[in-house]
Chains A and B, each alone.
Chain A
């Protein structure tokens, strides 16, 4: 194997896989990255056996070959090199020689045969989603993903694609205390013609999010299969194992007839909540919303330190109501709303509250109140 590659492209490619290679130590080879020469460049592949990332970096190939080397060390070396052009060569599977300007490094490797191969994907359908849309959907749902390891089926985002023509793509996340749902119309028709519900682990979602935040991206192809989901954008391919479990039937949970409607300026609410939360109890994170006609009063109470309250004028015509919330849940959902206003619908002090964005019909969130 022998090739010349531009520093910036190698560094970016290697940076993307750092979060994947570090985690596991049970199989030492998994801390390596697989390098393979292909037409027009170098194919990088790294995996932690939960997700896998494959990326094609443009390079000038002089001799073909495949090898695995420490992803962290290769990244650290290439990041520090002064010259733009990096020459990498290997004679056998023992390692590689990295040269740039007057620096040279010999990095030991492991044979590529021992590295897990990119699994064969038996594609059952695919759909293209504009990156900006996908990123927004992730931002509006990922915050509600559970971290409770005893309920693994909630440790991911549900992607729900209905078979009906013109039906939207939906993403849902919940941790049992709150739920967030986004649905969007797709510009094109998905292929495969079947209803699909897959649960994508948090890690894959967060890696994809990082990639899309790096720069402006084009359409992302989502490829479905029995065991995996693949996200493709140009040369970038992210593969994830799916969560093997049943996602709760979320449409049953969504309250449909909450009569008491509150509309309030989002930024004013966020500011007030932030201030009042300073004196909320560290254990319960509780704050109280007291709703009166035309006004809400937000308050917190720390038994040892003190209490805080702030009044906000708001559009409210329902009966007087006092509802307790975990302050973090309220802050998370407020940041997921784009519009200037946030709409909250209540039944009573203990039933789930429904949160809407008046400027986005496709967004819906639910928060379970706290008993005060």
Chain B
């Protein structure tokens, strides 16, 4: 993948290309930034650029080397990502994986000029693996490059961070997300823009979920929210009970609430011209916005955002959803 195909990360790409051109590639990079903004794709682009025999400080994308990297079977480009030891267990990067990496990195390249090892979600290295990995980071062989990718650099050992050159990736602008969606899904400009807003800034999500399903899910969520607002606490508890073992679904619901509350706020402050995530529900949103004050809306938005953060920190999904919905009980009475 040539660097030109990386969307919305001009600064990171510029730094990397400059280092490739001047031959000052370090022994290890740490790519960090929000989730699904193109860190791993950029790592792939760096690997390709280093293996490509046609282009200078970039990848042609067409030569056998480039194609092999893209297809995942270049003998000198390896990917390591978290795996579950047993079915259903948490996905981590285990010591066994780091040991294979260490055995592999100790050998000279098979076909190319360099060996490139990409460690995705490096924050999920188990402690033992992180310590073993540190040893490799201390003295990697000359002909190798390590690229660590993470959305949570703070969770890495400080000693690992300090041995890598860090490259920061920025959150994607809605325009960048829309451009990627248009390319990957073949969507028209307008639909791409709408999907991009819907996706809460995450490319991975917008590519994985289709619009139909999202709309349908939103309708269900709205209905549940209405029922709670109707004043029946039993309805709230029945609803939140469905999240007991499903924090993914709970996150989806809370993310919906965040965008919904955000739209209400936008309407309240900017009036009918505001750009809405749920533009197709403008009528319902306007009605609700009119009935509420700014302070009230702000408090509500803060609450749902905080709930989402709590959920990410592993607080019980059911309790988080209940707490987020409690204030709206009986609101429609």
Interface residues of A (CB under 8 A from B): 26-27, 29, 49-50, 114, 116-117, 119-120, 149-150, 152-153, 155, 201, 226-228, 241-245
Contact = CB atoms under 8 A, between A and B. Distances in A.
14 contacts: A27-B72, A27-B73, A114-B71, A116-B110, A119-B110, A149-B103, A152-B103, A227-B108, A241-B109, A243-B106, A243-B107, A244-B143, A245-B106, A245-B141
Contacts of B135: 150
A227 B109 contact: yes
B215 to A, nearest CB: 39
Contact of A244 (B71, B75, B99, B141): B141
A152 B102 contact: yes
Given A29-B73, A116-B73, 15 more contacts: A26-B78, A50-B104, A50-B107, A116-B111, A119-B110, A149-B99, A149-B102, A152-B102, A153-B106, A227-B108, A228-B108, A241-B110, A243-B108, A244-B108, A244-B141
A27 B79 CA distance: 11
Given A150-B135, A244-B141, A245-B141, A49 B110 contact: yes
A258 B78 CA distance: 49
Contacts of B111: 116-117, 119-120
A152 B103 CA distance: 7
A65 B73 CA distance: 22
B309 to A, nearest CB: 36
Interface of B: 71-73, 75, 78, 99, 102-111, 135, 141-144
A119 B106 CA distance: 18
In the A-B complex, the 7 residue pairs with the smallest Cβ-Cβ separation, listed nearest first, are A152-B106, A227-B108, A244-B141, A241-B107, A119-B111, A242-B108, A244-B108
Contacts of A245: 106, 141
A265 to B, nearest CB: 41
A244 B142 contact: yes
Contact of B108 (A29, A49, A241): A241
A350 B104 CA distance: 36
A298 B305 CA distance: 76
Nearest to A229: B108
Contacts of A29: 73
Contacts of A241: 107-110
A17 B200 CA distance: 52
A152 B143 CA distance: 15
A242 B103 contact: no
B107 A244 contact: yes
B144 to A, nearest CB: 8
B28 to A, nearest CB: 16
B64 to A, nearest CB: 8
A242 B143 CA distance: 12
A242 B107 contact: yes
B75 to A, nearest CB: 5
B74 to A, nearest CB: 8
A365 B9 CA distance: 58
Nearest to B67: A113
**Which of B104, B105, B109, B135: most chain A CB closer than 10 A?**
B109
A225 to B, nearest CB: 9
Contacts of B71: 114
A335 B109 CA distance: 36
**Which of B105, B107, B108: most chain A CB closer than 10 A?**
B107
B11 to A, nearest CB: 33
Contacts of B72: 27
A119 B71 CA distance: 18
A155 B323 CA distance: 58
Nearest to B79: A26
A152 B105 CA distance: 9
Nearest to A153: B106
Given A119-B111, A244-B143, A49 B106 contact: no
Nearest to A226: B108
Contacts of B141: 244-245
A50 B99 CA distance: 15
Contacts of A50: 104, 107
A245 to B, nearest CB: 6
A114 B103 contact: no
A201 B73 contact: no
Contacts of A150: 102, 135
A49 B72 CA distance: 14
Nearest to A116: B75
A242 B106 CA distance: 9
A336 to B, nearest CB: 26
Nearest to A240: B107
A248 to B, nearest CB: 15
Contacts of A152: 102-103, 106
Nearest to B102: A149
A49 B78 CA distance: 11
A243 B107 CA distance: 4
B67 to A, nearest CB: 9
A243 to B, nearest CB: 6
A152 B140 CA distance: 11
Contacts of B144: 244
Contacts of A243: 106-108
Contacts of B143: 227, 244
Contacts of B142: 244
Contacts of A27: 72-73
B142 to A, nearest CB: 7
